[in-house]
Every structure is written in structure tokens, then in C-alpha cells.
A and B are shown apart, each in its own frame.
Chain A
Amino acid sequence: KAGVTQTPRYLIKTRGQQVTLSCSPISGHRSVSWYQQTPGQGLQFLFEYFSETQRNKGNFPGRFSGRQFSNSRSEMNVSTLELGDSALYLCASSLAPGQGNGGYTFGSGTRLTVV
């Protein structure tokens, strides 16, 4: 059974640019959550998608957005990149939204560096 696939693994972008990250959940999982991880702030919740609908959103500016497709794959987009957006972006897959029976399964993450 394939795990959670995130692409790309590494990205280097310049301030002001935008970036799109992709996540394919475990087959059969319909819920995808996104987290930002930095050394200072730990894992911060970005948003969660289920059945192509955003169910919940964390305290991030509107520059951070996402969507989910009918095959449950999800993308997140960050526009007008800032240096502080440098982080590991993790996608988490689960059968059901939020409740986490059995918890999340994380992808390997996308390491974004903004220069």
C-alpha cells in the first residue's frame, strides 16, 4: 500500500514568488491536512480538506491557500513568498476528517527555502 506522497521534496524560491506543493494521500483516505513545521513554532495547522471542501483553516494569512481534487489529491499554494515561509510543509492523510481514528499518516514533507 503506497504511503502519502508529497512533491517536490525540496524547493528553493525567491521572495515574492509563489509556490505550489502537492500531496497524494493513502489510497482510500479522503482527508488531507497540511502543517507547517519550523524549529521555533513546531507543527502549525494550515488547513484540512475532505471531499474537495476545506473543513478547517489555521491562523495563517490569505497568501496560504489550498484545494483538493476529486481523487483526494491536494495542493497548497503560497503566494508572495516571504523569508519566514521557509519551513518543512507536511501533508497528513487520514480516513476521516480531524478525528484521527488511528491518527494521521504523514508524507515525507516538502522543504521550502525562500531566499
Chain B
Amino acid sequence: QKEVEQNSGPLSVPEGAIASLNCTYSDRGSQSFFWYRQYSGKSPELIMSIYSNGDKEDGRFTAQLNKASQYVSLLIRDSQPSDSATYLCAVTDSSASKIIFGSGTRLSIRP
């Protein structure tokens, strides 16, 4: 089992709709959770971090964390073509010694 799992996609969403990206992780001791966005040919860019159960909102982005289910999600409201990218879920290991990345979900927003 991979430590951080994501559906590779591509996930195609119409412009203006809500895009929902999901991630599961295997280490129950993980404490910090992140979402990165990576455009083709560019390096990953941190867009959301979440540390406690529940929802965290930042503009059009909402991160959701459920530690009991070992599940993290990212919702993007009012999706725009500029949101088309690969989204990487990242989790610290239980010793907080490193950050482990999922393989990413490719999101495509169609006009």
C-alpha cells in the first residue's frame, strides 16, 4: 500500500463547477497535511495546509481532514481554466521528519 494515495485522473470538471480531489494516507500518526498545485513544467506550489479535523477555507479552496478515516480532500469552488494543473496531496510522517507526497491528480477545467 502506498503511503499517500490519490486518483491520478484526469479529472475533468466544467468551468464554474466544484472540483473535488481526494487523498488517503496510511500513517495514523501523521499530523500535518498539505495540498500543492503543480502546473506542467513548473515546481509544486503550496496552496493549503490543514492540521486538525474539519474544514479549512481559503478563498475558493476548502481543505477537509478526517483523521479517523485517514482522508484528506480539497474542494475548488467556481473552477476556472487556470485551475487546470496536477494537485499533490502531502502528509508528514508520524515522526514529522519528512513530507510524503502522493502521485497527484491531474485536474482539467473545461470551458
Contact = CB atoms under 8 A, between A and B. Distances in A.
Interface of A: 33, 35, 41-43, 45, 48, 55-56, 58, 90, 92, 97-109
Contact of A108 (B43, B95, B102, B103): B43
Contacts of B42: 108
Contacts of B96: 97-100
A62 to B, nearest CB: 19
A56 B94 CA distance: 13
A90 B92 contact: no
B17 interface: no
Given A43-B88, A108-B43, A99 B32 contact: yes
Contacts of B45: 106
B44 interface: yes
Nearest to B90: A103
Contacts of B31: 99
A105 to B, nearest CB: 7
Contacts of B36: 103
B60 interface: no
Contact of A100 (B44, B99, B102): B99
Contact of B101 (A35, A48, A105): A35
B97 A97 contact: yes
A56 B46 contact: no
A23 B63 CA distance: 30
B98 A103 contact: no
A38 to B, nearest CB: 10
B80 interface: no
Interface string B68-107: 0000000000000000000010101101111111111000
Given A35-B101, A100-B92, A107 B43 contact: yes
Contacts of B101: 35, 42-43, 45
B31 to A, nearest CB: 8
A22 to B, nearest CB: 15
B97 A103 contact: no
A98 B46 contact: no
Contacts of A41: 103
A33 B99 contact: yes
